[in-house]
C-alpha cells in the first residue's frame, strides 16, 4: 500500500495529528518518511504498529509500557494474536459490568417515581469491577499514599472488603438521592456524607485540603472513576467533587 499522509492516518485511526506527532517525539511511532514540507507519511508497518498502540491503550496500558511491550514483541502476527486474546478477556469483563449496570437499571426502574432509590444488594453495583488493575499506576503516581493504603488493605479479610464495598455503594446511592433532590453541595446533609468519606479515606492515608480536593477532581477527570460513579446516577461524580472541595475548604484548610 502507498504511504498515507498524517492527516489521513489521524482520520482513519480516530486520533489527532498532534497525538501522532507526540508518539513520534517519544519514539513510540515514527513515520516511514518525512517530506521536504515536513509532512509525515506512514506505511503498512507503521499503520500496524499504530493499531497495536491503540489496542493496548484500550486495554488500559500507559504509553511507556506500550513502548516497552512493542519493542519486546518482534513477531507481528503472534503479537496480534496475544492482543486479540486480551481484547476477548476485556470483552468478557465489560460484559459482566454491562450485566451489573443492567441489573441496577432494572432495580431503579421498578422504583421510579417513588421518590427514593433503594439497592437490595449494594455490593452488586461493583460486580465486575477490578480496582487492582490500577494498582501499579497508583504506586507510580502516589507512592507514599499507595504504601500507606496497602498496609491497611493487607489487613482486610474478604468479608471486610465486601463490607467496605457495601458502604461505598450505599454512600454513592445516598449522594445520588441528595443530588436528585437538588440539595446544594454545602448543605449539612451532603457535608456529613463527605465527612464520612474523609474518615474512610483517612483509614488508609490522611489527605490535607489540597489532596482531598484533588481526589475529588480525580473522580471526574479520570474517566474510569467517573464512569463507575455515574453508572449509579449521571453527574454524581461531579457532585462528589464539588462537595469534597467545599469540605476541604471549610474543614481541612
- pLDDT for 67-97, tens place per residue? 888 877 666 677 667 767 776 766 666 666 5
Pick the closest to residue 232 from 133, 110, 103 (CA basis): 103
Note down pLDDT in tens along the chain; length 253 residues. Answer: 578 899 999 988 888 899 999 999 999 999 999 988 888 999 888 888 888 888 888 777 788 888 888 877 666 677 667 767 776 766 666 666 566 556 666 666 665 555 554 444 444 444 444 444 444 544 555 566 556 566 766 676 877 777 777 787 788 888 888 888 889 999 999 999 999 999 888 887 788 888 888 888 888 887 777 877 887 778 889 999 999 999 999 999 8
Sign of the torsion formed by the C-alpha atoms of 239, 242, 244 and 247 = negative
Q: How far apart are CA 226 and CA 80, in angstroms?
A: 30
Q: Give the global pTM.
A: 0.47
Instruction: Please report the pLDDT score of residue 147 as a whole number.
Output: 63
Q: Which long-range contacts (CB under 8 A, 24 or more apart) does 227-234 make?
A: 228/126, 228/129, 229/172, 231/101, 231/104, 231/125, 232/104, 232/125, 232/169, 232/172, 232/173, 232/176, 233/172, 233/176, 233/179, 233/180
8 A C-beta contact, residue 119 and residue 92: no
What phi, psi does 115 have (nearest 5°)? Answer: 85, 0
Cell 437499571, residue located: 105
Per-residue pLDDT tens over the stretch 90-106: 666 666 656 655 666 66
Task: Name every residue whose Cβ is closer than 8 Å to that of residue 219 and which is 6 or more positions away in sequence.
Answer: 225, 226, 229, 237, 238, 240, 241, 244
Which pLDDT score is estimated for 102? 64
Q: Grid coordinates in use for 222?
A: 479520570
What's the confidence (pLDDT) of residue 125?
47
Q: State how far the alpha carbon of 181 is from the alpha carbons of 29, 148, 176, 239, in Å.
A: 50, 37, 9, 12
pLDDT for position 126 = 47
- What structural domains does the chain harbor? 4-72 (1.10.1660.10), 85-252 (1.10.490.50)
Q: What pLDDT is recorded for position 150?
A: 64
Q: What local confidence, expressed as pLDDT, does residue 93 receive?
A: 61
Residue 90: how many CB atoms within 10 A of its CB? 14
Q: What's the rounded Cα separation, in Å, for the pair 181 and 116?
A: 10
d(C-alpha 236, C-alpha 175), whole Å: 7
Taking each helix axis from N to C terminus, what angle separates 44-58 and 63-72, rounded to the nearest 10 degrees?
Answer: 130
| Residue 45 confidence (pLDDT) | 85
Write down the pLDDT at residue 205. 77
Residue 143 cell numbers, joined: 507512592
Amino acid at each position: 500500500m502507498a504511504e498515507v499522509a498524517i492527516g489521513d492516518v489521524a482520520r482513519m485511526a480516530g486520533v489527532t495529528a498532534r497525538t501522532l506527532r507526540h508518539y513520534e517525539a517519544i519514539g513510540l511511532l515514527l513515520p516511514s518518511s518525512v517530506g521536504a514540507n515536513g509532512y509525515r507519511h506512514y506505511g503498512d508497518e507503521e499503520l500496524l504498529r499504530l493499531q497495536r498502540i491503540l489496542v493496548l491503550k484500550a486495554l488500559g496500558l500507559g504509553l511507556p509500557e506500550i513502548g516497552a511491550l512493542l519493542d519486546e514483541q518482534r513477531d507481528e502476527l503472534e503479537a496480534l494474536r496475544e492482543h486479540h486474546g486480551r481484547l476477548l478477556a476485556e470483552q468478557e469483563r465489560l460484559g459482566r459490568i454491562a450485566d451489573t449496570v443492567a441489573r441496577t437499571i432494572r432495580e431503579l426502574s421498578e422504583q421510579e417515581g417513588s421518590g427514593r432509590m433503594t439497592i437490595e444488594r449494594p455490593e452488586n453495583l461493583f460486580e465486575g469491577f477490578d480496582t487492582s488493575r490500577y494498582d501499579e499506576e497508583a504506586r507510580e503516581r502516589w507512592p507514599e499514599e499507595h504504601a500507606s493504603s496497602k498496609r491497611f488493605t493487607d489487613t482486610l479479610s474478604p468479608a471486610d472488603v465486601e463490607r467496605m464495598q457495601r458502604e461505598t455503594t450505599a454512600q454513592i446511592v445516598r449522594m445520588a438521592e441528595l443530588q436528585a433532590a437538588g440539595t446544594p453541595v454545602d448543605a449539612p446533609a451532603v457535608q456529613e456524607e463527605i465527612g464520612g468519606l474523609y474518615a474512610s479515606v483517612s483509614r488508609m492515608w490522611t489527605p490535607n485540603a489540597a489532596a482531598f480536593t484533588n481526589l475529588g477532581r480525580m473522580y471526574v477527570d479520570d474517566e474510569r472513576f467517573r464512569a463507575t460513579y455515574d453508572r449509579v446516577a449521571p453527574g454524581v461524580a461531579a457532585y462528589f467533587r464539588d462537595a469534597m472541595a467545599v469540605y476541604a475548604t471549610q474543614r481541612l484548610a
